[in-house]
A and B are shown apart, each in its own frame.
Chain A
Amino acid sequence: MALDSIREILDEAHASGTSFWEVVLQADMEERQVTREASMAKMLTTWMAMEEAADAYTGTRKSVSGLVGGDGMKMRQYNFRGEALSGGYVSEVIAEALSMAESNACMRRIVACPTAGACGVMPAVMLPLVKNYDIKQRQILEALYVASGVGIVIAKKACIAGASGGCQAEIGTASGMAAAALVKLRGGSDETAAHAVAMALSNLMGLVCDPIAGLVEVPCVKRNVIGAVNAVSAADMAMAGIESFVPVDEVIEAMGEVGRHMPVEYRETALGGLANTPTGRAVKDSMRRL
Chain B
Amino acid sequence: MDLFDILGPIMVGPSSSHTAGAARIGNMARTLLGTTPRRAAIHLHGSFAETGLGHGTDLAIIGGLLGMKPDDLRIPFALEEAEKEGLEYTLDAVDLRDAHPNTALIELWGDGDAHLVVQACSIGGGAIEVHMLDGIEVFFTGDHNTLVIRNQDEFGTLAAVTTILNQLHINVGNMSVHRDRRGGDALMVLETDQHLKPSQVQFLRELPGVISITYFDKEVETYGT
Asked if A pairs with B, the answer is yes
CB distance from A228 to the nearest CB of B (A): 16
Task: Enumerate chain B residues within 8 angstroms of A49, measured Cβ to Cβ.
Answer: 10, 223-224
Which of B19, B53, B224 contacts A107 (CB under 8 A)? Answer: B19
Q: A45 touching B224 by the CB < 8 A rule? A: yes
Q: A24 touching B3 by the CB < 8 A rule? A: yes
CB within 8 Å for A46 and B10 given contacts A116-B19, A213-B54, A214-B51? yes
Task: Tell me the complex Cα distance, A117–B71, Å.
Answer: 16
Q: B2 touching A31 by the CB < 8 A rule? A: yes
Interface residues of B in 3-36 (CB under 8 A from A): 3-16, 19-20
Q: How large is the interface on B (under 10, 10 to 19, 20 to 34, 35 or more residues)?
A: 35 or more
Task: Enumerate chain A residues within 8 angstroms of B124, measured Cβ to Cβ.
Answer: 161, 163
Q: Is B76 an interface residue (CB 8 A)?
A: yes
One digit per residue, 1 when the CB lies within 8 angstroms of any chain A CB and 0 when it does not, for chain B 46-86 equals 01011111111001000000000001010110000000000
CB within 8 Å for A64 and B53 given contacts A107-B76, A144-B7, A148-B6? yes
Interface of A is mostly: helix
Q: A42 touching B15 by the CB < 8 A rule? A: no
Task: Enumerate chain A residues within 8 angstroms of B3, measured Cβ to Cβ.
Answer: 24, 27-28, 31-32, 39, 145, 148-149, 152
Q: Is A79 an interface residue (CB 8 A)?
A: no
CB within 8 Å for A215 and B54 given contacts A24-B3, A109-B71? yes
CB within 8 Å for A290 and B54 given contacts A114-B6, A115-B16? no
CB distance from A288 to the nearest CB of B (A): 5
Q: Is B126 an interface residue (CB 8 A)?
A: yes
Q: Is A282 an interface residue (CB 8 A)?
A: no
Task: Enumerate chain B residues within 8 angstroms of A119, measured Cβ to Cβ.
Answer: 13
Q: Is B125 an interface residue (CB 8 A)?
A: yes
Task: Tell me the complex Cα distance, A160–B125, Å.
Answer: 10
Interface of B is mostly: mixed
Task: Enumerate chain A residues within 8 angstroms of B93, measured Cβ to Cβ.
Answer: 289-290
CB distance from B55 to the nearest CB of A (A): 7
CB within 8 Å for A42 and B6 given contacts A109-B73, A215-B14, A290-B49? no
Q: B6 touching A151 by the CB < 8 A rule? A: yes
Task: Enumerate chain A residues within 8 angstroms of B51, measured Cβ to Cβ.
Answer: 213-215, 270, 287, 289
Interface residues of A in 259-290 (CB under 8 A from B): 270, 287-290
Select the residue from B7, B16, B125 with max chain A CB neighbours within 10 A. Answer: B7
Q: A112 touching B8 by the CB < 8 A rule? A: yes
Q: Is B190 an interface residue (CB 8 A)?
A: no
Which of B8, B56, B76, B126 contacts A46 (CB under 8 A)? Answer: B8
Task: Enumerate chain B residues within 8 angstroms of A27, measured Cβ to Cβ.
Answer: 3
Stretch at the interface among A98-106, A197-205, A248-256: A98-106
Query: Given A107-B76, A216-B13, 4 other A-B contacts at CB below 8 A?
Result: A46-B7, A111-B9, A155-B5, A161-B124
